[in-house]
Amino acid sequence: KNEVEQSPQNLTAQEGEFITINCSYSVGISALHWLQQHPGGGIVSLFMLSSGKKKHGRLIATINIQEKHSSLHITASHPRDSAVYICAVPMYSGGGADGLTFGKGTHLIIQP
Amino acid sequence: SAVISQKPSRDICQRGTSLTIQCQVDSQVTMMFWYRQQPGQSLTLIATANQGSEATYESGFVIDKFPISRPNLTFSTLTVSNMSPEDSSIYLCSVVRGRSADTQYFGPGTRLTVL
């Protein structure tokens, strides 16, 4: 069963700063998910990636399969980026659409 | 993408009662999951809802406490039975369309408070 570690747990930064959130997992996977959770509890899927790098607007996600590590970057951060960012991987190794196991999340606050 | 609705969006219940949460998807999906997020904790998978058969529960979750139904490919229910304050959580439905590790789409969640 996969385990996920995220860091940092909390992060406060000034508007415009470059943000990095890290995620490590224990078991080889087919894909890793980055999710965003807003204060009301709603969850939005940001990225699903299995190799390399993906970019969407100011968000960039990278993954190193050999190292079992992924990073989420936010460029030119803005107060509206304030949320909890969660890394998730399939609960079990191998392919197939498994349920996910989640990191504890990174509480990000961007101050104006 | 998939549009998922959950009902109710929130509820306040008395201990000892039961609440059924509905999850409706706008199109047929392969997999449906139910998750729980206790206050300050990470999301945890309760079970996989299987169409036409019994749900597959994760360790620590049992059918008597969390009965799940999935009568078709677009709808599922989760019941939280004989509730106690420890059941106060956000309950989330998520779906996957394909057979591979496709993007999971999440419902808006049901915020449950048990007094």
Note the pLDDT tens digit of each residue in B31-41. 899 999 999 89
Q: Do the Cβ atoms of A23 and A31 come closer than 8 Å?
A: no
Contacts of A102 in chain B (CB under 8 A): 42-44
- Give the percent of chain A with pLDDT over 90: 68
Facing residue for A96 by CB, picked from B45, B90, B99: B99
Q: What is the rounded average pLDDT of the residues A57-83?
A: 96
Instruction: Report the chain A residue with the minimal C-alpha distance to residue B34.
Output: A99
Q: Judged by CB atoms within 8 Å, which residues 27-46 of B form the interface with A?
A: 30-31, 33, 35, 37, 41-45
Tokens standing for residue A80? 């509206």
Which of A4-13, A80-89, B62-71, B103-112 shows the lowest mean pLDDT across its residues? B103-112
The sheet carrying A4-7 orders its strands as: A4-7, A19-25, A69-74, A59-64, A52-56
Instruction: Evaluate if residue A97 carries a pLDDT over 90.
Output: no
Residue A21 CB coordination number (10 Å):
22
Instruction: Report the chain A residue with the minimal C-alpha distance to residue B43.
Output: A102
The pLDDT of residue A94 is: 55
Cβ burial of B62 (10 Å; 0-12, 13-18, 19+) is: exposed
Strand partners, B25: B4
Q: What is the rounded average pLDDT of the residues A32-44?
A: 86
Tokens standing for residue B66? 């969390």
Helix (H, G, I), strand (E, B) or coil at B87: helix
Facing residue for A33 by CB, picked from B31, B44, B104: B104
The sheet carrying B19-25 orders its strands as: B4-7, B19-25, B75-80, B68-72
Instruction: Please give the mean pLDDT across all residues of chain A.
Output: 91
Q: Which of B38, B45, B93, B104 to mutate to test the interface with A (most CBs of A within 10 A)?
A: B104
Contacts of B48 in chain A (CB under 8 A): 99
Q: What is the rounded average pLDDT of the residues B17-30?
A: 95
* CB spacing of B90 vs A41 below 8 angstroms: yes
State how far Cα B81 lies from the chain centre. Answer: 13
Q: Which residue bears the tokens 């969640």?
A: B109
Cβ burial of B16 (10 Å; 0-12, 13-18, 19+) is: exposed
Q: Cβ of A9 under 8 Å from any chain B Cβ?
A: no
Q: What is the rounded average pLDDT of the residues A79-105?
A: 85
The pLDDT of residue A45 is: 87
* CB spacing of A41 vs B37 below 8 angstroms: yes
- Give the percent of chain B with pLDDT over 70: 97
Instruction: Evaluate if residue B101 carries a pLDDT over 60.
Output: no
pLDDT category of residue A31 using cuts at 50, 70 and 90 = confident
Q: Cβ of B8 under 8 Å from any chain A Cβ?
A: no
Return the sign of the alpha-carbon dihedral for residues B84, B87, B88, B92. Answer: negative
* CB spacing of B92 vs A90 below 8 angstroms: no
- B64: which DSSP letter? T
Q: In sequence order, what are the residues at sequence separation of 6 or more whose Cβ sits closer than 8 angstroms to the Cβ of residue A57?
A: none
Facing residue for A95 by CB, picked from B48, B101, B103: B101
d(CA A23, CA A3): 10
Instruction: Evaluate if residue A53 carries a pLDDT over 80.
Output: yes
